[in-house]
Structure 1
Amino acid sequence: MTTLLAAEELNPLVPHPVEMIVGTIAFLLLLLLLWRTVFPQFEKVYAERKDKIEGGLQRAEQAQEQANALKAQYEEQLAGLRAEAARIRDDARAEGQQIKAELRAQAEEEAARIRARGEEQLAAQREQAVRQLRAEIGGLSVQLAERIIGDSLADDARRSSTVDSFLAELDGMAPRETAPAGGAS
């Protein structure tokens, strides 16, 4: 029996009853200690993290809503700015067309003014050329008449009447001579 008892005591698979009682009491004390000190801290940290995560999610949702609202506002502003830019472009085109028309009108007025001034200058030059030619023709006609007649036409009245009659004859002949020449071409 002693061997049996000794054999029972030595069995490593079955714990000794005293060890079981001491182990159970130690476990209960450790569990009580953990229950009162460590588990509340775990619960506190867990609750803080949970609040932090939930608060973060709420803040993220609020930030997302604000971002969406700002995006919508910016899109409205952008649409308004695009419409404003289109209006400004249209106004600029219309103003450009108006300026172009005004410049064209000014250029046409200036061209007409230059043309009129040129025609006036041409008429004045023609008149001056006619006067010069009349004076030269008059002088030449006096010389020719002196040669033909052989008399001197020194008298101004006589000379003037001779020149005027010669020029009158030339004026009368000029249209008749130019008409057939123009018709022959």
Structure 2
Amino acid sequence: MGILIPGPAETLIGMVSFAVVFVCMTKVLLPRINKVLDERKDAIEGQAERAEQLATEAREVLAEYREELAEARHEVARLRQEALEQGTQLIAEIRAEGLRERDAMIAEAQARLAADRLIAETELRGDVVSLATELAGRVVGEPLDVADSGIVDRFFSDLDARSAAGLQ
């Protein structure tokens, strides 16, 4: 037989060796390899499922976040509008109070001016009478005594009538 064609003993040893290796592989190694491959497959599928669950939860959380954000924006807009209305109301109340105070101050000032005018007029009339008497006495050359106050009163009433007619 030749080098390329083995003898019956060598063929038998080769077949028995192959059968032992094949049996060892199928009984010991292949179940372990299949077990590792199944674990990897389960791990990969489990990770994919977990990733899908996490993505679903993330979408739900994002939807809730957007909903809460929309509600918060609505609440902020409502509060802003409410504050604007309160501010407008406060400004109107302060303006009305200021106008009332201004009117009261004007009325008080007018009353004070009228009282001051009356006092000044009374004092000036007395001074005018004394100055006019003194001046008339200098013109005449002897001191004059104003015993008749009716003349002075008539003069001032004529003066008041003229000033009232001039104002109208």
Which TM-score band (shorter chain)? 0.7 to 0.9
Residues 173 and 114 (structure 1), Cα distance of their counterparts in 2 relative to 1, 3 Å cut: closer
Root mean square deviation of aligned Cα? 2.5
Aligned counterparts of 1:141 and 1:167: Cα–Cα separation in 2: 14
CA contact (8 A) 1:134 1:167 kept: no
Q: Answer yes or no: is 1:172 the counterpart of 2:163.
A: no
CA contact (8 A) 1:141 1:166 kept: no
Q: CA deviation at 1:171?
A: 2.6
Aligned counterparts of 2:61 and 2:72: Cα–Cα separation in 1: 16
Q: CA deviation at 1:135?
A: 1.4
**SS where residue 14 of structure 1 aligns?**
coil
Aligned counterparts of 1:152 and 1:104: Cα–Cα separation in 2: 61
* Stretches of structure 2 lacking an aligned partner (at least 5 in a row): none
CA contact (8 A) 2:137 2:143 kept: yes
Amino acid of the structure 2 residue aligned with 1:38: L
Q: Answer yes or no: is 1:32 the counterpart of 2:3.
A: no
Superposition TM-score, scaled by structure 2 size: 0.85
Aligned counterparts of 1:177 and 1:26: Cα–Cα separation in 2: 150
Superposition TM-score, scaled by structure 1 size: 0.78
Q: CA deviation at 1:20?
A: 2.5
Amino acid of the structure 1 residue aligned with 2:32: Q
Q: CA deviation at 1:53?
A: 1.6
**SS where residue 85 of structure 1 aligns?**
helix
Aligned counterparts of 1:47 and 1:129: Cα–Cα separation in 2: 118
Q: CA deviation at 1:149?
A: 8.6
Q: CA deviation at 1:42?
A: 0.8
Percent sequence identity over aligned pairs = 32
Aligned counterparts of 1:53 and 1:173: Cα–Cα separation in 2: 118
CA contact (8 A) 2:134 2:143 kept: no
Q: Answer yes or no: is 1:50 the counterpart of 2:41.
A: yes
Aligned counterparts of 1:177 and 1:57: Cα–Cα separation in 2: 107
Aligned counterparts of 1:127 and 1:34: Cα–Cα separation in 2: 133
Select which of 72, 79, 82 maps to 1:81: 72
Q: Which has the higher contact order (CA 8 A, sep 6+)?
A: 1
Number of residue pairs the alignment of both structures matches: 167
Deviation string, structure 1 residues 60-119 (Cα, Å, up to 9, x no partner): 121122111111111111111111111001101101110110111111112111211221
Please say which structure displays the higher CA radius of gyration. Answer: 1
**SS where residue 5 of structure 2 aligns?**
coil
